[in-house]
Structure 1
Amino acid sequence: MAYTTEQLLDFLDQELRATWKGERVVLSSADRIDNPVLSKAIGADKLSKVFAIQDFRAQIHDYQHEHGVSGLMWYTCRFQGRSLRVPELHPQLIAIPADKLALVGAKPAIVEFWRQSIAGLRLWMAGNQPQPTTPEEVEQLIAASEWAELSATRDELYLSLCWGDPKDCHCDWAKPESGCDRIIATAGEPSGIKV
């Protein structure tokens, strides 16, 4: 019987704690960086901790692939009296093929929740300087996306419209193969909170 997603996260947490306590050592860590000046500046102890965590995380990712263990966590998004259970890829795990199917499958319910929740709110494209947008522009982005993610604060609802690799979609360097367009719905101007 394979370990569950929650068990893998517990293992990662235990390993992280042990590594930062100095209980895990990677002796070859200085050899893994091509720049000896950078290696010396960071220090063998810190390099050892970084590579110990990376190595263990890679083992967990291999285990996920081998045993088909999901990297998704499900949580309840609440906004203005409404709630919806939505999936999200845990940042320490990878998405197996079934995970992307689950994300794609959740898109219709997420988009419907968004549409029902934004009445009377202003829409903004997220970015360094949020820009006003229209429902029509958002609908075009919805049509072009593979899956949607949802999060909320008390006064703002965030819709992420994603494509490509779920592990890379939030990284600007992954565009255009993977990416996310984020829309903020709020009564006034966006607060600037990073959700």
Structure 2
Amino acid sequence: MTYTTKELIQILDRELCASWKGERVLLSANERFQDPVLSMALGQDKISKVYAYREFREQVHQYQRTHQVSGLVWREFQFQGKSLRFPELHNQLVAVPTDKEVLRAAKGSVLAFWQQATQGMQFWLVGKQLVRITAEEIARLAKGTEWAEVEAAQNELYLGLCWGNPAECHYQRAYPDSGCDRAIAAKTEPRSLKLIGSW
């Protein structure tokens, strides 16, 4: 019997707890960690815990690929009384090829939710600086992306228009192969910018 996504998440959670309790040790961790200053600061114990978990997680990722176990979880999302259920990649798993199809299939419902939830709001494109844009410009950007995701902070709604590798799309180093254009909808100028760069 193949493990499910939910079971793999539970297994990873247990393993992370066991690693941090010191129940998992990777004896060769210091050989892999090549920064002597950080090695002294962190100590072998912490380095061993991190590498023990990383190696276990890599084995889980290989299991996912071999058995084609999805890395997606379904998120229930609410913003100002409106609800959306959409898929997103779990932060400890990898996407398998069929996951991209699921993300692509959900793009329309995420964009429809965005349009409905942002009626009467103003829009900004996130970059080095916020740039005011229109709903039409967001729609044009959306056409060139593979999937969409949303996040919220109080009275602001964030839209991610993503492409490439779902596990790397939020990292600047992956651009231009993978990426995520981000837009903010707010009644007035955005205030909750703490989420920018973290999702």
Equivalent residue number for residue 75 of structure 1: 75
- Where in structure 2 are the equivalents of 1:28-43 lying within 5 Å? 28-43=28-43
CA offset digits 1:57-91 (Å, max 9, x no partner):
00110111111111111112212322111111011
Equivalent residue number for residue 90 of structure 1: 90
CA offset digits 1:106-140 (Å, max 9, x no partner):
01111111112221101011245422111222112
CA offset digits 1:144-178 (Å, max 9, x no partner):
11111122234111110001000000001110110
CA offset digits 1:2-34 (Å, max 9, x no partner):
111111111111111111111111111111133
Equivalent residue number for residue 160 of structure 2: 160
* Cα separation, 2, equivalents of 1:35 and 1:114: 45
184-193 vs 54-63, greater mean Cα deviation: 184-193
* 2:27 partner amino acid: L
Contact 1:145 1:161 in 2 (8 A): yes
What SS does structure 1 have at the residue aligned with 2:24?
coil
Instruction: Describe the shift of the 1:34–1:81 C-alpha distance in structure 2 as closer, same or farther (beyond 3 A).
Output: closer
Q: Is 1:145 matched up with 2:158?
A: no
159-168 vs 118-127, greater mean Cα deviation: 118-127
Equivalent residue number for residue 60 of structure 1: 60
- Aligned pair count? 195
* Cα separation, 1, equivalents of 2:112 and 2:41: 52
Q: Is 1:118 matched up with 2:96?
A: no
* Cα separation, 2, equivalents of 1:116 and 1:30: 53
* Cα separation, 1, equivalents of 2:164 and 2:29: 32
Equivalent residue number for residue 172 of structure 2: 172
Contact 1:104 1:147 in 2 (8 A): yes
* Cα separation, 2, equivalents of 1:50 and 1:169: 24
* Cα separation, 1, equivalents of 2:38 and 2:81: 52
29-38 vs 78-87, greater mean Cα deviation: 29-38
- Tell me the TM-score normalised to structure 1 length: 0.93
How far apart are 1:35 and its partner, in Å?
A: 4.1
How far apart are 1:42 and its partner, in Å?
A: 3.0
* 1:90 partner amino acid: H
List structure 1 runs of 4+ shifted beyond 6 angstroms.
none
How much identity, in percent, do the aligned residues show? 51
Unaligned runs of 5+ in 1: none
* Cα separation, 1, equivalents of 2:116 and 2:47: 49
Contact 1:84 1:113 in 2 (8 A): yes
* Cα separation, 2, equivalents of 1:150 and 1:121: 15
- Tell me the TM-score normalised to structure 2 length: 0.92
129-138 vs 64-73, greater mean Cα deviation: 129-138
Contact 1:123 1:133 in 2 (8 A): yes
